[in-house]
Amino acid sequence: MTNFLKEKKILIIITGGIACYKALDVIRRLQDKKVNIECILTESAKEFVNLITFESLLGKKIHSNLFSLSHQKEMNHIKLANEVDLIIVIPCTANFIAKMANGIADDLASNILLASKKIKVIAPAMNTNMWNNKAVERNLKSLEKMNVKVFSPKKGLLACGSKGAGKLMEVDDIIDNLNHIFYPKALSDLKVIVTAGPSIEPIDPVRFLSNYSSGIQGYEIAKSLYYHGAKTTLITGITNLQKPKNINVINVSSASDFYNKVANNLPCDVLVSAAAISDWKVKRISSQKIKKNKNDTLNISFLKNIDVLENISKHPKKPKLIIGFSAETSNLITNSKSKLKKKGCDWMIANNVGENKVFGSTHNKVSFIADKKIEHWPKMKKSDVAKKISKKIVNFFKKK
């Protein structure tokens, strides 16, 4: 992955939380990326970590006191606020979120944040009940309105012993997300639609026809295109994934829902149809639960479902670039090339779902198929597949 962090200047503000020690790993990783780092420890952070540890790692003085900094000839807090490319607060406590949201400036860190017009990021970490507290939710919404980027915490086992949301985002993800912020916004003039996840076709009030799609690949594509500056809409079936920040998310269920929402959001420049949409639906949906009977079999009639990709490819407002996904268990390339032609899309991303675990996995192995071109990509993270697809899209519009 291209390193867009190289030679950037980042100010890291460390607040008081049990996840303080992870900031050391973030600093190491950013140093590996050739980032110029300044660091501030709040007074509460000093209760958790040793100032000398951070100064030894950085090889420079850690800032902490507003008044001593203000009297240094070589740097004051206004200068520090404006000479960096980005400020990240990690871990960001509920208390510090409240200070930022309400403009409180009672220490060096909060003064600098108020004085700076640079990119601001917070990586919260706290107890689950605190994270779900209405006051914290309100403060986070206020920060988002101020264009503060939130690296939302993950679910997991917390230091307090409870399980739930509030665990600091993984360091790898923090570094990746910081790198994404500095992506060249090559798609900033484009509107894109991404579909993801499974469709659900009802059989009766309690049963349905669906598939194993987790939605991970589609979500990663939507995030990658957003990072490249595209105005992104994600149309998704039911998943267990967290909704991406700053992306218009539309929840749907059936194939007809997928089609209607895609069509209603046209025109657009790009459609990436990554959703696993059922080829079939029930001919007659029972209004009552289908009960067991004396027979050992149950006959249900199915009808061919609406083909979202094919119909959008024939739509009067057809997008400039249409990308489909082909999940096969045999004859991958032959079947996928046939789909490309039949459906009338521009590219097909093909993967064999019979050879290895794809649904629910964080990795994928795909082949890129265009009219006169086939590329077999190695197995990689779905996030990396998304980046390669995004790069293809960037190059497509550059040529246009």
Query: Which of these three, 181, 216, 240, is where a domain ends?
Result: 181
186: in domain: no
Position 1 in a domain: no
Domain count, the chain: 2
Q: Which two tokens mark 286?
A: 């029972």
Domain that holds residue 31: 9-181
Does the pLDDT at position 163 exceed 80?
no
**CA–CA separation, 160 vs 179, rounded Å?**
31
Domain boundary among 150, 181, 212: 181
Considering the domain boundaries, does residue 286 fall inside one?
A: yes
- Average of per-residue pLDDT across 356-379: 88
pLDDT (0 to 100) of residue 146? 96
CATH number assigned to the domain comprising residue 329: 3.40.50.10300
3, part of any domain: no
Residue 116's contacts (CB-CB under 8 Å, 6 or more residues apart) are 81, 82, 84, 87
Q: Based on the fold, state whether residues 160 and 208 are members of the same structural domain.
A: no
Q: Are residues 342 and 277 in the same domain?
A: yes
- Residues 60 and 137 both lie in one domain: yes
Q: Check: CB of residue 266 under 8 Å from CB of residue 319.
A: yes
Residues 84, 122 share a domain: yes
Q: Are residues 197 and 288 in the same domain?
A: yes
Residue 2 lies in a domain: no
Kindly state whether residue 348 falls inside one of the protein's structural domains: yes
The long-range contacts involving 312-316, CB below 8 angstroms and separated by at least 24 positions, are: 312/259, 312/262, 312/263, 312/266, 312/271, 312/273, 313/343, 313/344, 313/345, 314/344, 315/263, 315/266
Catalytic residues: 160
- Look at residue 120 and tell me whether its pLDDT is greater than 90: yes
Q: DSSP of 212-264, one letter per residue?
A: ---SHHHHHHHHHHHHTT-EEEEEE-S-SSPPPTTSEEEE--SHHHHHHHHHH
One domain for residues 238 and 289:
yes
What's the pLDDT tens digit per position in 3-31? 899 999 999 999 998 889 899 999 999 99
Q: Considering the entire predicted model, what is its pTM?
A: 0.74
pLDDT for 74? 47
